[in-house]
Amino acid sequence: MSEIHESAENYLETILMLSKKLPVVRSIDVSNEMGFRKSSVSIAMKNLRESNYITVTKEGYIYLTDAGKEIAETILERHELLTKWLMSLGIDSKIAEDDACKIEHDLSKETFAALKKVIIQQIGE
């Protein structure tokens, strides 16, 4: 995952999360969720489309490609597991969310797999 930027991972993760709760995802939804200007989101969507991580219909509906979905699911799994783990350590939920977001991008697959094993043993899953 080193060839994709953290910001792109965050956009893909946000699109995945929104797709689970909305019938369709549009740039405005991403903008509202992330708190970014529409112009910034528009540039990011163009870059993600050019990298073949998303497709955008003529109506403006955003869909993850298989490659985009794979990255998004990986980041979301890391985010959710790390957040639960940090909260189990007594960390406030907002701080746990923020810290998990910082950590999730920089872990190697091997480190995350080892952490996941330990976390699941500690807190269950």
Query: How does pLDDT run across 33-90, given as a tens digit for each residue?
Result: 999 999 999 999 999 999 999 999 999 999 999 999 999 999 999 999 999 999 999 9
Mean pLDDT of 16-21: 96
- Residue 122 carries which DSSP code? H
Cα–Cα distance, 79 to 45 (Å, whole number): 22
53 shares a domain with 106 = no
pLDDT tens, position by position, 93-113: 999 999 998 898 888 899 999
- Would you say the C-alpha torsion 78, 84, 85, 86 has a positive or negative sign? positive
pLDDT of 1 reads: 40
Residue 41 and residue 93 in contact, taking contact as beta carbons nearer than 8 Å: no
Pairing of strands 62-64, 54-56: antiparallel
90 shares a domain with 65 = no
Task: Report the candidate in 88, 87, 82 with the shortest Cα–Cα distance to residue 122.
Answer: 88
Which has more confidence, 46 or 124? 46
Domain of residue 109, CATH code: 1.10.60.10
Band of pLDDT at residue 123, cut at 50, 70 and 90: confident
pLDDT of 2 reads: 40
Domain limits at 30? 6-70
Specify the 3-state DSSP secondary structure of 54.
strand
102 shares a domain with 53 = no
| Amino acid at residue number 95 | I
- State pTM to two decimals: 0.86
- Sole residue written with tokens 């529409």: 38
40 shares a domain with 19 = yes
